[in-house]
Amino acid sequence: MGEDRYLTFALGKGRLANQTLELLERIGITCEEIKDKSSRKLVFVNEELKLKFFLAKGPDVPTYVEYGAADIGVVGKDTLLEEGKPVYEVLDLGFGKCRMCVCGPKKSEELLKHHEMIRVCSKYPNIAKDYFYNKKHQTVDIIKLNGSVELGPMVELSDVIVDIVETGSTLKENGLEVLEEICPLSARMIVNQVSMQMYAHRIKPMIAKLKNELEKEK
């Protein structure tokens, strides 16, 4: 495959995509088409640089990159940990910073301390499982929810939740708090394993430029 092949980016829809596009602009990678918010198009092209961009649901980004439908992806570390796909994680982009935490009402603190058999609601069952089984060696019952996970302890479905905490205001407004911190999170750039070898001459200089740009922020 020659130089004419498009390099394809899969971006997690929403704030992450916007921040990624801003960062890419700073190293001269632009995509005017994608800025038109009234457009219903799904795939956007920069003919001059031979780049393609598409916006996908965050949890699907590692899948597109794993199969090579996208060479490069930008997604939250939470999704990478949860999906566990074989892709190269090449860069911490520094934005989208938040924390993965065990949260609940204050009274659940004791249950955590004494390694009781508890119920845990989460959108991230794999992260929850890894934390409780492999790190804490505590047997728990994990219940997968798809959002508004804070409801779990509030309607007595679970004792705690494993969820993302950014500002902490969702927890506060619902009478919950951070009980344990699992890990920090932020947006990451990922690359397909084959693309990384085949298009190293295009991908590596781009990563180096991004790194350099991110260094300036420090």
Residue with Cβ nearer ligand PRP (56 or 72): 56
How far is 192 from 166, CA to CA, in rounded Å? 29
Q: Pick between residue 142 and residue 165 the one whose CB is nearest to ligand PRP.
A: 165
**CA neighbours closer than 13 Å in the CB half-sphere of residue 189:** 23
**Least CB distance from residue 148 to ligand PRP, whole Å?**
5
Q: Which residues bind ligand PRP (CB under 6 A)?
A: 123, 147-150, 163-170
Q: What distances in angstroms separate CA 126 from CA 140, 155, 157, 214, one per listed residue?
A: 12, 23, 19, 30
What DSSP character marks residue 35? G
CA 40, distance to chain mean position in Å, is 24
Please give the residue whose beta carbon sits closest to ligand PRP in the complex. Answer: 147
The count of other CB atoms within 10 Å of the CB of residue 152 is 24
In the bound state with ligand PRP, the residue whose beta carbon lies nearer, of 98 and 214, is 98
- For ligand PRP, the closer of residues 27 and 164 by Cβ is 164
By beta-carbon proximity to ligand PRP, the closer residue of 126 and 170 is 170
What's the closest the beta carbon of residue 174 comes to ligand PRP, in angstroms?
A: 9
**Rounded to 10 degrees, what is the CA torsion of 51, 93, 16, 7?**
10
Residue 145 Cβ vs ligand PRP, minimum distance, rounded to whole Å? 9
Bridge partners (DSSP) listed for residue 92: 188
Minimum CB–partner distance for residue 172 and ligand PRP (Å) = 8
Would you say 134 or 146 has its CB closer to ligand PRP?
146
CB of 153 to ligand PRP, least distance (A): 13
Tokens of 201: 């001459």
Q: Compute the least distance from the CB of residue 139 to ligand PRP, in Å.
A: 25
Whole-angstrom CA distances from 147 to 121, 126, 127, 164, 173 are 10, 15, 15, 11, 16
